[in-house]
Structure 1
């Protein structure tokens, strides 16, 4: 029985791979010449080309929107070390776009991008750990990533750092420091920071 189940599972995996491969071939038949050229370059190990194809399909830029196909190209580029693709792949797993929600894979790829200093990935990881989204809540770890993104002028991260200093959750409580971060966040366009500052004042 166990051997039978293993064969069935293996067949399902092969079937899924063939389905995606078939979808890719069909999509590329109807794709623009520039997309086909990029896809060919991606198949030859060009990470930037793979990322560009991924963006075209996930965002519907000149091609019919197809998250699953776009994510496949992001994965190609992510495995080649492209931080932007690692971030997009991580967000795909995190939001369940083009694939099932998988928080472990999401953190894996977001961490890979964050380790390369990619600000959006650091900001997202900060929120994930600070709020406990799909992971055991770890405010200090969340602020570790948020602070790096905040120092790179990410308004959302600056807001979270401000909240942390105001409440003492994830950092030492320091109202003045918290308000300074909220002011920077508000100047960067985060409406939540503006609203909170009005309340505090």
Structure 2
């Protein structure tokens, strides 16, 4: 994600869509859901892999995909994965921002998870295959994809680890004979990079 000098970042933030933090849920050590409410969300169209962008420090932005949006009531929730819960060291800019959110704050703006989070995520995402992460990011997901039973697939939405998305895109293109124009991707993090 981009970083900008603070005055420019602030100019972009004030032109964003104001929302209020309506609630937070710590679902496991690694997953936190944040509920937002805002008049600007009413009547908006949303699609899978569509992202929101938040200013998480005076100069850094991060992107997240809502897991639920109600355009009638103006409510939205985002399920955040907290890297600092499993990676030693100081929190990332996104995690530091997430840890600072509180109710009432105003903001603009197949899944692979650690083994200990599999039961929680299965409850959160009924009907979605949840696989336990292996030491190498994406390997468990790609193994599942390779072994998945053949079925008719008309679109693909790939989000998460950048290098895994590149490999998964090639798998679904070949396996399901999908044109690039109907494979939607949104990388959130990549090995060896700070933010995207």
Instruction: Name the TM-score, length of structure 2 as normaliser.
Output: 0.27
Instruction: Name the TM-score, length of structure 1 as normaliser.
Output: 0.27
Q: More helix per residue: 1 or 2?
A: 1
Answer 1 or 2: higher relative contact order, Cα 8 Å, separation at least 6: 2
Larger radius of gyration: 1
